Amino acid sequence: MCETGKTKVAFSAMLQKGGEAYGPFNKDIILAYNKVFTNIGDAYDSCTGIFTAPVAGAYHFTFFYHSGGEHPSKLRLFKNCERIVMTSDLKSGSDKADNGGNGVILLLRQGDQVYVRMAAKGYVWGDDYTTFNGFLIS
């Protein structure tokens, strides 16, 4: 059975940087995942990296990254200004690859913003290694 009139919201984006390392930076930055695969409802802004809830509801978000061992990596997902979940990897001094990710279901009000921040001095690899996704559940 197909529901009519129900708002549909979903996005999937990748940090496209030509397969190069992105970072490290001297301060925390919001990651602007600039290669957008899906943006149903146009709620994700690839210039800022910020998702803005067009309607209130329960949303599911995931984020994943890939990095090497030369620098630490710490990504944190925020709802407005509140840190919700994170993933991190310490500097190992080796060239071995590290991967991480996390996910969460959040109750959002219309206009709430969700984004991923990378901590100062961290870095990630661009392209298909580093992604940010979200969708409205109900």
- pLDDT number for residue 19: 67
Residue 105's Cβ-side half-sphere holds a number of Cα atoms within 13 Å equal to 5
In terms of Cα–Cα distance, which of 13, 122, 26 is closest to 70? 122
Please return the burial class of 15, using the count of CB atoms within 10 Å of its CB with bins 0-12, 13-18 and 19+: buried
Distance, in Å, from the CA atom of 39 to the CA atom of 132, rounded to the nearest integer, reads: 12
Q: List domains and CATH numbers for the chain.
A: 10-136 (2.60.120.40)
Q: What digits encode the pLDDT tens for the residues 36-60? A: 999 999 999 999 999 999 999 999 9
Higher pLDDT, 124 or 5: 124
Distance, in Å, from the CA atom of 43 to the CA atom of 127, rounded to the nearest integer, reads: 22
Record the pTM. 0.89
pLDDT band at 104 (very low <50, low <70, confident <90, very high): very high
Q: Are 133 and 15 in contact (CB under 8 A)?
A: no
Q: What digits encode the pLDDT tens for the residues 13-23? A: 999 877 678 88
